[in-house]
Amino acid sequence: MNPFDTSVHNRLRQGLLGLSLAASLMAAGYANAFSLDDVATQAKDLADQAYVAPTSNLPREFSEMQFADYQKIQPRPEKFEWRERDTPFQLSFYHQGMHFNTPVKINEVTASTVKEIKYDPQRFDFGDLKFDKEATQNLGYAGFRVMYPINQKDKQDEIMSVLGASYFRVIGKDQVYGLSARGLALDTALPSGEEFPYFREFWIERPKPEDRHLVIFALLDSPRATGAYRFILRPGEDAVVDVQSKVYFREAVSKVGVAALTSMFLFDPRQPPNVASFRPSLHDSNGLAIHTGDDEWLWRPLNNPKNLAVSTYQVTNPKGFGLLQRGREFARYEDLDDRYELRPSAWIEPKGDWGKGHVELVEIPTPDETNDNIVAFWTPETLPEKGQPLELAYRMHWTLDEPALHDPANAWVAQTLRSAGEDKQANLIRQLDDSVALSIDFEGPALADLPADTALASQVSANDNAELLDTQLRHNPATNGWRLTLRLKVKDPAQPVELRAALTRDDAPISETWSYQIPPHAESAP
């Protein structure tokens, strides 16, 4: 439950603001030109008022519902919004239940109207759930799904899910839901606790028959911030979402996370599970990629640390960043049910100059895959004064084609392998020496056409907590790439080890920078 007090006066005032906006739009006859500015007017007005926490309207049988029962509530396809209209898009809705205990208002925008899509229990199949139907007549929607025939022309597939706080997920052709995005993150990983803004209202433009995109507006609210958002969803092989936002602050915020991505990393061969698993890897994403304003490319493999870990990368005017799932072979995952090899990467492409700031990576310990334990976002160095919006725009790519995101003239890290370090003896006996060995495979067009005897070099650095014992770089004929092998000793396992490495040719970088962390309190060898 939200701890903030409610105010009848403010609730009435906010309701009148919404009614006034809709009425003025219809009276002026410009609903077809409904824009981000219309939502920003509400966001700015909200920011000038005291925060009013939403209150639950759920009867007990829905508020105390377990997840298995909540899953029984399914939308009826014959009741999808726009099902009878000549448009490839349709909408279905999430019912309230569990911790989704407050309704979200959803409106349809047409050329002449702005009209709420009213709650109708007939839209849902409740399975074998037992409840008082009279007690649910005044409930609402917790969120919505966008349906589109992305895989087959005659089948509506779910391509976007919007449910909970400001979270949403998107998939393209032949993709399976994995990581999530959210509109805004506030004070993530701070001792004071995180604040979760939520989308309280949506306006969705009814698409025309020829439209192959869907326009969604959203009003965001939280104790210390409000916001107006426009999303343009473009289905395809890759799903693309163009985002434009205006965020207003009621109060000072220590950390603002823009274009936040939330994912899960449990284990991989580099960091194997404590209990034996038939899956070699289990994760929605395995690394953070950054393209800096200075054209440097960075790759940071993810960890499931023993303690909360926060890493920051100072970047001015970033050209891109994202949480990626590198490695699409089924053999990497071996999971027929959850199909981790089909879970998309999400890449953020900023529009315009974002100025100074940093990309932040938060890694949270988790014992299982049910917890999203990875967060990445952009944090601006300075925020606007109260009353002025933080305005940022970006494009999101949801893709299975990670190489297409990368500069082909710059090689990338295909995998990072870790093992106990060893000193190979003259008689070929492998003798462990209490060191850590890391092998980094670089691949890509920048390397594929180079002869095996090309003179490449490596740049390797480590912080003071590691002693580099050996570095070797050799051609990898199996991948037409190069493998860099490092051997090092960790001085204090209770402290992190930070490593960086890149390939060069004629003293110029030819690969992205591999940025790696051995988390504190990890063993000195697997």
Cβ-contact 257, 360 below 8 angstroms: yes
Question: How open is the CA angle 39-164-279, to the nearest 5 degrees?
Answer: 135
Taking only the tens of pLDDT, the chain with its 526 residues reads 333 333 333 333 444 344 444 444 444 444 456 999 999 999 999 999 999 999 999 999 999 999 999 999 999 999 999 999 999 999 999 999 999 999 999 999 998 899 999 999 999 999 999 998 887 888 999 999 999 999 998 899 999 999 999 999 999 999 999 999 999 999 999 999 999 999 999 999 999 999 999 999 999 999 999 999 999 999 999 999 999 999 999 999 999 999 999 999 999 999 999 899 999 999 999 999 999 999 999 999 999 999 999 999 999 999 999 999 999 999 999 999 999 999 999 999 999 999 999 999 999 999 999 999 999 999 999 999 889 999 999 999 999 999 999 999 999 999 999 999 887 767 767 778 889 999 999 999 999 999 999 999 999 999 999 999 999 999 999 999 999 999 999 999 999 999 999 999 999 999 999 999 999 975 443 3
Instruction: Please provide the distance, in angstroms rounded to a whole number, between the alpha carbons at the two ends of the chain.
Output: 42
3-state secondary structure of 442: strand
Beta strands at 282-283 and 287-291: parallel, antiparallel or unpaired: unpaired
Residue 433 neighbours by CB under 8 Å, 6+ apart: 421, 422, 423
Cβ-contact 359, 312 below 8 angstroms: yes
Give counts: helices (H), strands (E), the chain: 5, 32
Q: What is the pTM of this model?
A: 0.91
Task: Return the domain boundaries, the chain.
Answer: 412-518
Provide the 8-state DSSP code for 512: P
Residue where the block lists tokens 């022309």:
153
From the list 249, 281, 295, the residue with the least C-alpha distance to 415 is 281
Rg (CA), the chain: 25
The domain covering 412-518 belongs, at the CATH homologous superfamily level, to Immunoglobulins (2.60.40.10)
